[in-house]
């Protein structure tokens, strides 16, 4: 599916697609280069999507703007995270293989400001042409507004 979006300049990805990309990342699946200049991610920030979130900017060498818009709740028919854990366990895979243990227990609604800063730092490390990040995290960080 991602190959069909290679020439798109504006791309929006949701939580379930990012979960699938994260699983593909853990499985070592190659990703196509994208020509996206503007990328919007509509997702909860959790360990289930971070590997996918990091891979997309890495494979978007022309990316200028990244918008992260955490969703308050998953959309209709979300992929249950417990099913992802079952899949990983049955294939001997582990989330800790691919990214910082600092995010190991990150769950929706339980994100600390330190984790948000580390997450944005990870995103910045994966891009070379990014000019603007818009992170809409209002009410997302436990007990704070950012």
Place 84 in a pLDDT band, splitting at 50, 70 and 90: confident
- pTM score: 0.73
Helix spans in 95-142 (H): 113-125
Residue 78 placed within a domain: yes
Place 145 in a pLDDT band, splitting at 50, 70 and 90: very low
Residue 143 placed within a domain: no
Beta bridge partners of 132: 65
Nearest CA-CA partner of 101 in 118, 121, 83: 118
Q: Is 37 helix (H, G, I), strand (E, B) or coil?
A: coil
Beta bridge partners of 66: 39, 133
Higher pLDDT, 4 or 92: 4
- The pLDDT, as a whole number, for residue 89 is 83
Residue 145 placed within a domain: no
Q: How many domains does the chain have?
A: 1
Residue 98 placed within a domain: yes
Residue 119 placed within a domain: yes
Residue 79 placed within a domain: yes
**Cβ atoms of residues 78 and 48 within 8 Å:** no
Nearest CA-CA partner of 44 in 15, 75, 67: 15
User: What is the percentage of the chain residues whose pLDDT exceeds 90?
Assistant: 14
- How confident is the model over 61-82, as pLDDT tens digits? 999 998 888 765 555 557 888 8
Q: Is 94 helix (H, G, I), strand (E, B) or coil?
A: coil
Give the end-to-end CA distance of the chain in Å, rounded to a whole number.
34
Domain limits for position 64: 2-135
- Whole-number mean pLDDT of the chain? 76
**Cβ atoms of residues 76 and 146 within 8 Å:** no
Residue 140 placed within a domain: no
Residue 146 placed within a domain: no
Beta bridge partners of 28: none
């Amino acid at each position: 599916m991602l190959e069909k979006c290679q020439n798109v300049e504006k791309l929006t990805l949701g939580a379930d697609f990012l979960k699938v990309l994260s699983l593909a990342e853990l499985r070592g699946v190659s990703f196509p280069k994208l020509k996206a200049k503007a990328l919007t991610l509509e997702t909860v920030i959790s360990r289930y999507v971070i590997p996918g979130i990091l891979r997309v900017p890495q494979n978007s060498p022309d990316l200028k703007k990244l918008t992260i818009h955490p969703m308050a709740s998953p959309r209709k028919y979300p992929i249950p995270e417990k099913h992802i854990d079952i899949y990983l366990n049955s294939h001997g895979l582990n989330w800790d293989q691919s990214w910082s243990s600092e995010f190991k227990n990150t769950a929706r609604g339980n994100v600390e400001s330190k984790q948000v800063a580390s997450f944005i730092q990870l995103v910045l490390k994966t891009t070379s042409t990014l000019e603007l990040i818009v992170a809409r995290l209002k009410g997302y960080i436990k007990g704070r507004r950012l």
